[in-house]
Amino acid sequence: MFLFLGLSILDPNFRLIVTKPDNVPIVGMLFLIPFFTWFAMREAVRNDQRIAEGKPLIEQEETAEKVLTWPDLVYTELICMVVLTVLLIGWSMALQAPLEDPANPSSSPNPSKASWYFLGLQEMLVYFDPWLAGVVFPGLIIVGLMGIPYIDTNPKGNGYFTLKERRWEITTFLFGFLILWILLVILGTFLRGPNWNFFGPYEYWDIHKLEALVNVNLSEYIWVKGLGMGLPKNPLIREMFGFLIILGYFLLLPPLFAKKWFKGFYATLGPVRFHVMMFLLLCMAALPIKMVLRWLFNLKYIIGIPEYFFNI
């Protein structure tokens, strides 16, 4: 990572993007998240080895050591406060505040980007309609996080690092956090330029760049290109293949997984919690699936009913 950034910073286009005051924290995030992910996995592997050897956990040994709040803890907090204060002062002196000109209705910024923590949602708007990317999916994120304590009642891994005892849960979390959130933030920050076009890391952000809109709905692939017919006027008939795919995705896959690959989960969770978990997992998987379909086949909508603003 250091070598890549060190060599890439020599490119003027790359340097212009990563050194923007708005983007500097995201550059720092590129180092902090891998480091803390590695650190957590390292501690988890060490604990798994200790459990296998019958030794006490790292957390048990650490909590066994008692220290006084004064002066040990207070001195440590004081040093951290001084270091962070110096860091923030230096940061504010080295980088200008990312303040823009007063709002002007005749001159909108291009690209117009949301705050960095919402760039994942803005990137999802490329692949889904606003009612999905801006309402349904964020709502499912909140509901899913609220439902975790009721779905996952496994007491192992509570209060200590472990990978072997929580392999599935950790994998699911890392997929949702790193792939479905952090990766989209990085993509929206560094690779989306004017008109929300895709630009390479060393490409100049040309405001006049044009990309042909060749996205095609699934119904057009089937009726026009596959069957050589015109699109039916009735939207339900026109989009029936998309409805069948969506219904099969959410109704047929959970029982199939319960019988084939997730037998243990089904026996442990029971039918209700298992199907809730599968619904949330399938919703998580829908985003990368739709992204791949867009990139490979220019697929716009699986179900496209613009007459009623219902597009998936």
Share of the chain above pLDDT 70, in %: 99
56-89: b or e for each residue (b if 16 or more CB lie within 10 Å)?
A: ebeeeeeeeeeeeeeeeeeeeeeeeeeeeeeeee
Query: Are 269 and 257 a contacting pair, CB within 8 Å?
Result: no
End-of-domain residue from the set 211, 234, 261: 211
Looking at the predicted structure, is the pLDDT value of residue 289 above 90?
yes
With a CB cutoff of 8 Å and minimum separation 6, the contacts of 221 are 297, 299
Residues 145 and 284 in one domain: no
- Segment 17-73, tens digit of pLDDT: 888 888 888 888 888 999 999 999 999 999 999 999 988 888 888 777 777 888 888
Query: What is the reported pLDDT for 242?
Result: 93
> Parallel, antiparallel, or unpaired: how do β-strands 304-305 and 310-311 relate?
antiparallel
Distances (CA, A) of 105 to 108, 130, 196, 298: 6, 23, 19, 34
Helix (H, G, I), strand (E, B) or coil at 96: coil
Residues 153 and 229 in one domain: no
Helix (H, G, I), strand (E, B) or coil at 304: strand
Count: domains in the chain:
2
- Segment 102-131, tens digit of pLDDT: 878 887 888 888 888 888 888 898 899 888
With a CB cutoff of 8 Å and minimum separation 6, the contacts of 238 are 219, 223, 231, 232
Residues 18 and 148 in one domain: yes
Tell me which residue range forms the domain holding 220: 212-311
DSSP labels, 215-268: -B-HHIIIIIIIS--PPPSSHHHHTHHHHHHHHHHHHTHHHHHHHHT-HHHHHH
Kindly give the interhelix angle for 240-251 and 253-260, rounded to the nearest 10 degrees: 30
Residues 157 and 239 in one domain: no
Separation of alpha carbons 279 and 250, rounded Å: 7
> Among positive and negative, which fits the CA dihedral 30, 8, 114, 188?
negative
Residues 160 and 307 in one domain: no
Looking at the predicted structure, is the pLDDT value of residue 1 above 70?
no
The reply to whether 54 falls in a domain is: yes
- Segment 250-274, tens digit of pLDDT: 999 999 999 988 888 888 888 999 9
Residues 231 and 294 in one domain: yes
Residues 248 and 149 in one domain: no
Residues 198 and 152 in one domain: yes
Please tell me whether the peptide bond between 71 and the residue prior to it is cis, using omega within 30 degrees of 0. yes
Nearest CA among 208, 187, 194, 23 for reference residue 110: 194
pTM: 0.84
Residues 206 and 230 in one domain: no
